[in-house]
Structure 1
């Protein structure tokens, strides 16, 4: 016959096992991504693989612990935006998932931001562009440009100390032989950065030069022979999805203390932390 103490021990052991088996936030997200596999596959362009997209998205999420603190629907919504546009998040620079504290709701959400390489990739899909690229310009470079009837652009980067960043330019060559170029000084780039809800967070902090080049390309967008479908794709830049089925919405208000991730945090994902808001979501894991 079991004694009271043995029963207590058995109950304690069961409780300990149950607690030990509780999934980490990263494991929870991995389960959601696995369940989303068929939807991701439907959304992706034919040349992309759903398993690869899920792996890259999970790696991106794991390397930024602040993403694991965000609402699950907005995080999965960002993954679906990347899938629908055929852009890979993370180091390749196609797109970024940026965590932020929503000052109105008080919860942490994820903003989807298209990167420089993502803008390049989308432009090339139009089929009318032979090549498109952008470069940063520094004060010690040899740089000349002029618009008008005979546009001119000359850029010879300094071989050693290039000095301070002074601006960026973008060039697009069309398949019919035409071309378009735009230069934007740092002052103008800064004005546009400050208008962004992610001005002091995410890629504007970690990849300033890439974002500067993207800003010029986006400014030049209206002059490019791009399809309506691609034009609409770019409207998803700097938006948030409340869940995977919702339409992208602009970020209305970000709390002053936006999330910033230190290099130490990026190197050491905090997977050992227990879920907080994950249990409150409406998704089911099988």
Structure 2
């Protein structure tokens, strides 16, 4: 029975083995004590090359998954750089995390996305820049602004004031970090292609911590284990900014891919399979058609029935009288 790649990856992940069978030989081996750094580096390079050779078996699937503006060459170059940090992860989890990343058209270079190890499971994590990238691709926003306000910078927020006086911020990149002071607020807004500006989302540190404590399973696991190695531990400010972007995504028109990105990140945080949320060509086409139909249905409901036009004096059609003499 023929199954899709998505089904095969799901089944392999549930079994804890890769689609090509057990973990690659030597992939999980430790360098023996007493060996030199050169030998350790050689083992690491061999393991990386072995995984790359295995991943290239699925190059056609990556070609199909990546959007037209991205090629497999730059994508695999970023993958090669991240593989040494995923040594203990199962091949199946590596494949599903990387394919999920490709489906969203993001490069796992630490800028747009990160592939990280949680135990023996590789997980795809989009950065706040990845969310911004998908906002631009939606074609509905002209520019996206996401920044930190530091305590020694000038800013004001007065929602009742007319635009653009309702929110102002004067960053001071000329100052050192110490001179700018600690960050006090993260904010995000976008300017729409049709003109105008979205709502401004502001989050203070306490807001970010509440989001972390309520929604991040990865943070809770890292706290309970004592590892303290979640992104909330290691890159708090980036997660703070991403929380602002994700809250902005709820109040502006967005694409199906952007909503799916949030769902995939939440699934990874909860230790679930992410690829089930990633778009593919067929699903994206169906969703786009459904969205067009939905917008058309809404437009038809908003249209007020207009009376038939009445002709001018020339050729004016007189109203017909009914048989009972009533008009």
Match of 1:95 in 2: 113
Q: Report the equivalent of 1:193.
A: 212
- In 2, Cα distance between equivalents of 1:73 and 1:236: 17
1:172 aligns with 2:172: no
Shift of 1:97: 1.2
Equivalent residue in structure 2 for 1:129, among 117, 121, 141: 141
TM-score (norm 2): 0.61
Aligned 8 A contact 2:260 2:277 in 1? no
Determine if contact 2:78/2:109 at 8 Å carries over to the other structure: yes
The structure number with the bigger radius of gyration is 2
Instruction: Provide the aligned C-alpha RMSD in A.
Output: 2.7
CA contact (8 A) 1:40 1:80 kept: yes
Deviation at 1:24, TM superposition (A): 4.0
Partner of 2:61: 39
Corresponding residue for 1:8?
Answer: none
Identify, as 1 or 2, the structure richer in strand: 1
Please tell me whether the aligned partners of residues 138 and 166 of structure 1 are also in contact (alpha carbons under 8 angstroms): yes
Find the residue that maps to 1:36 and give its secondary structure: helix
What SS does the corresponding residue of 2:64 show, helix, strand or coil?
helix
Residue in 1 that maps onto 2:247? 219
4+ residue segments displaced more than 6 Å: 20-23, 241-244
Q: Is the 8 A contact 2:107 2:113 kept in 1?
A: yes
Aligned length: 219
Provide, for residues 163-215 of structure 1, a one-character-per-residue CA deviation record: whole Å limited to 9, x for no partner.
Answer: 12212001200011121221111110111123313334354344332222111
Whether 1:27 and 2:56 are equivalent positions in the alignment is no
Q: Which residue of 2 aligns with 1:236?
A: 264
Separation (CA, whole Å) in 2 of partners of 1:233 and 1:190: 22
What TM-score do the two structures reach when normalised by structure 1? 0.69
Secondary structure of 2:61's partner?
A: helix
**Which residue in 1 is equivalent to 2:301?**
none
More helix by share: 2
For structure 1, the 5+ residue unaligned runs are 1-19, 102-107, 250-286
Unaligned runs of 5+ in 2: 1-41, 220-227, 279-327
Greater relative contact order (CA < 8 Å, ≥ 6 in sequence): 1
Q: Describe the superposition over 1:32-58 as per-residue Cα deviations: whole angstroms up to 9, x where unpaired.
A: 221111110000001100122112112
CA contact 2:131–2:258 (8 Å) conserved in 1: no
Aligned to 1:75: 94
